[in-house]
Amino acid sequence: MSNEVESAAASHARLVEQRWDGLETRVSSKLAQIAGLDRGREAQLLAQAANAKTATQRVHWLRKGAQAISDAVAPLAACRKGCSHCCSISVVIPRAEALVIAKETSRKLNAAAGFEVDFEGNVIDRVREEMTQKYQGQPCVFLESGQCQIYEHRPLACRLLLNLDEDDLLCQLVPNAGPPRVPYLNSRAHEVRALLAFGNQQYDDIRAWFRH
Ligand code: SF4
């Protein structure tokens, strides 16, 4: 490792440590505000997703549900237009959603991609961990000049990743500084319900489903 990289990583690590000092309390206060929000609309949209007859309709309702969360949380989140750090971490999506994105964007799907995932055996957590290690720092295939080229069609995983800090410091990927530790909104409940709406099927990272 060059001295320059080493010193950039060390100075980033110091800033991160300072930022985490008291951060959990600040985030808890935001979570308390979020807990007080009316989530009725989101629940309604998820119910519509669960009853959808086709994957395209299901994705449509799940996107609306994700938007309802994101609109409600936006004033408390660090995420801003033009920020794209989270486009260089893993983005795991089910085959059904990848197929919808392929159709909407006229992009070819890599038929060889995909791992079988069993929710009951928590295999999804193992797949995520493996994908995190494999794709950390690799820009998404749809990221060009810092912009998402399929923004209207982006996966649910992208729509639901919200950083509850004040700015993007903790999202920054700094060489040799290790994986970022970010106080993301725990949108896991929504995500799990969304994934369950697709059921046990194949999952993979967006970079595996779609190639450059
Ligand atoms: S699909 Fe778009 S928003 Fe999602 S990771 Fe790729 S470039 Fe970023």
CA of 31 from ligand 1 middle (Å) equals 25
Say which range, 33-42, 68-77, 187-196, has the weakest mean pLDDT. Answer: 187-196
Give the residue, out of 158, 161, 162, 163, with the most ligand 1 atoms within 8 A of its beta carbon, to mutate for a pocket test: 158
Give the residue, out of 63, 80, 143, with the most ligand 1 atoms within 8 A of its beta carbon, to mutate for a pocket test: 143
Confidence band of 55 (pLDDT split at 50, 70, 90) = confident
CA of 21 from ligand 1 middle (Å) equals 30
Per the CB < 8 A criterion, the answer to whether 101 and 153 are in contact is yes
CA of 137 from ligand 1 middle (Å) equals 13
Please report, rounded to a whole number, the percentage of residues in the chain having pLDDT higher than 70.
Answer: 89
158-185 per-position pLDDT tens digit: 998 999 999 999 999 998 877 889 998 8
Which pLDDT belongs to residue 172? 95
Q: What is the mean pLDDT of the chain?
A: 88
Give the pLDDT mean for 67-87: 92
Q: Is 135's C-beta closer than 6 angstroms to any atom of ligand 1?
A: no
Confidence band of 188 (pLDDT split at 50, 70, 90) = low
Q: Which two tokens stand for residue 212?
A: 């450059």
Q: Where are the domains of the chain?
A: 3-209
Confidence band of 40 (pLDDT split at 50, 70, 90) = confident
Q: Whose CA is nearest to atom 1 of ligand 1?
A: 154
3-state secondary structure the chain: CCHHHHHHHHHHHHHHHHHHCCHHHHHHHHHHHHHCCCCHHHHHHHHHHHCCCCHHHHHHHHHHHHHHHHHHHHHHCCCCCCCCHHHHCCCEEEHHHHHHHHHHHCCCCCCCCCEECCCCCCHHHHHHHHHHHHHCCCCCCCEECCEECCHHHCCHHHHCCCECCCCCHHHCCCCCCCCCCCCECCCHHHHHHHHHHHCCCEEEEHHHHCCC
Q: How far apart are CA 53 and CA 164, in angstroms?
A: 35
Give the pLDDT mean for 126-139: 86
Check whether 67 has a pLDDT greater than 60: yes
Closest ligand 1 atom, residue 154 Cα: 1
CA of 48 from ligand 1 middle (Å) equals 25
Which pLDDT belongs to residue 197? 63
Q: Is 99's C-beta closer than 6 angstroms to any atom of ligand 1?
A: no
Query: Measured between alpha carbons, how far apart are the two ends of the chain, in Å?
Result: 29
CA of 141 from ligand 1 middle (Å) equals 8
88-117 per-position pLDDT tens digit: 999 988 898 999 999 999 999 999 999 887
Confidence band of 151 (pLDDT split at 50, 70, 90) = very high
Give the residue, out of 206, 207, 209, 212, with the most ligand 1 atoms within 8 A of its beta carbon, to mutate for a pocket test: 206
